Structure 1
Amino acid sequence: MTSNHHSSTTATDSNTADTSKNTHTSNSVPPSSSISKKGARLGAIAIVISLVFGGGLGAYSYHKNQQYQRQIAQLNTALQRNQSALQSKLDNAQQQFDQQAKHLQDTLKTTLDQQQKSLDSLQMAIAKLKGNRSNDWLLAEADYFVKLAGRKLYLEHDPSTAVALMESADERIAALNDPSLTSLRQAMANDITALKAIPLIDQDGLVLRLSSLERKVDSLPIANAIIPKAKATETQTVSTNINDWQQNLWTSLKDFTSHFITFRTRDGNAVPLLSPKQDFYLRENMKAKLETAIRAVYNHQQKVYSETLNTASDWAGRFFSDSDHSVTSFRHTLTTLADKQVKVDYPAKLESQAKLSTLIHERLRRQVSSLTSEDKS
């Protein structure tokens, strides 16, 4: 670049000198040659300018190229550095993942091994319970019978079946021949005694008899109007004594007027004749009373039962014909049924049920504990 510039400068100076000479000389030459020299100078100047511009442009391009190369090198270095850092992070993450996966796998394997051991122990325990613990089956059967007896007693109010079930449970306990179960058998004996002391109530029989009376209501004859008997009056007669003529006259007059107006005195309440509408309502109310008594039998409501039947018996005596045999029999049956016992006091609970359940749970816990101890050893 410097040599070119120097050459250009030298050439320019030479051209300038030549131009001066030519100018000096041109004064003495013809005009045509002067014009040719002037064109040559302009061409030379253009060439010089082109060379200078081309050299400057080349220098500028070279400088920029070097600058771009340095930037590219810096970017490549930064890219390589970032790639190295990223690769390092990926390697660390992969290493941590592998470590965590291995840790989880080891933990899972340990847990599965423990569960398998527990399952094996449980299977062994079940096998021993099935094969070697026949007495436990007798306890389980006794517990089932006692619970079933409780349901029969409190839900179905059937003490007879409850007694039979309790006796079956006692037979299972007796078959164990275990002196440690004496207290349990004593509790079962107390329960059986209490159940046998419960009075037996023939609910079905009472309900059937009440239903039969209800069907009979429509056929009972209604009583006619009841009028109390009049008091007996003394009949006066005319005497034969002539001196009693005044009394005889008064007696004859009263006897004569008695055929027109009669006064009789009666003691007691008169019962009027019922209308057909009242007859219908009476019979329906009587049936309703009997239905109430039937519900009282099932609900063990002694007071409601007795009062309802007594009311029905009173209505039958007041409004139905008491001289009719069917009414008399109807009232007698109501009175008899009203004295029946429908309320029963059941025991609050079965004493043996709680003891038997506790015994079974304790035995099962001891068996499982012994099996677990054997597995650990």
Structure 2
Amino acid sequence: MNVEQSSTPPAEPVTAPVAKARRNNKGGALWLLPVAILGGLLAWQWYDTRQQMTELRQDVARRLADAAVVARNEAQAGQQLLERSTALAGRLDAIEATLAEGRDQEEALQALYQDVAKGREEAQLLEIEQAITLAAQQIQLAGNVPVALLALRSADAQLARLDKARHLPLRKALAADISHLNELPLADIPGISLRLEQIVSGVEKFPFIVHGRPVEEASAAVEPDDAPAPWWRLVLSDLWQETRTLIRIQRFDREEPALLAPGQGFFLRENLKLRLLSARLALFARDQWTFRNELSVARSWLERYFSTEDRAVQAAIEQLKELSAAEIIIELPDLRASQQALVGLREGRETR
């Protein structure tokens, strides 16, 4: 027992450190496991991070390579765009130069057109001025209202074709003058002239009064007789015929007609023609006194020297009476309004 008791106590000190060591080992093992797990986690994290960094580097390298390619392509595209822009700039410069040249040509053509239009308008205005001047001359010198009206209407028609607002005063003045001329009484100058011309052409056929002869009765027809007439009857017949030729019996119911020498008839007819032609000239000159005086002298000559029993002479005397009563002097306007409007239009064009 003692041996066992003596032997047992010494055994306790040996097992106690072992147990303590075992307990320490177990505690260290417990601490190593979290460390190992933490180390594994750290290793896995490092590996995963490295993989991600590798992949990131590869992705960045790939993207850089793609960016380099894109940059290179963009550089090429930019170069192409630069070349195209340079070419377009050259074309644009050429187009601008062409446009500038075209603009210059357009301005030159516009100036030429304005010159042509201005020249055409100047020519038309010159024609209008000539028409108004012609109308004024026809009224003042010849009193020819129809020709003056025709000239004024022609001028108004040309102004209507121009259709300019600055021509309205002139057109208004022309309309007023045309209205005044239309209101004038008509003197048939051409008709009177033609009637005088017909009388002049018939002067050669008018018979003189001093050349008249009594109408001889037709001798009775002698019945044919087979027997010859006695000689004394033939002598008496011849004597009777000679006696009849020596004696002329004529009756005048008016004063004694004027006598004319055999060669004066020609000069009388020519002087009568000159009187009628002078009356015609006075008609054209609107000389009322001279016109009536010449017609009066011509009518008196017809009544004195020509046979009034002739129908042609009677008709001529009646026409001369009618023509003497005709009024050939008409108070005509002077077209001053149209002329003043034309002067104003010309001055306005000169100031512009």
TM-score scaled by length of structure 1: 0.44
**Higher RCO (CA 8 Å, separation ≥ 6 residues):** 2
| Structure (1 or 2) with the larger CA radius of gyration | 2
TM-score scaled by length of structure 2: 0.47
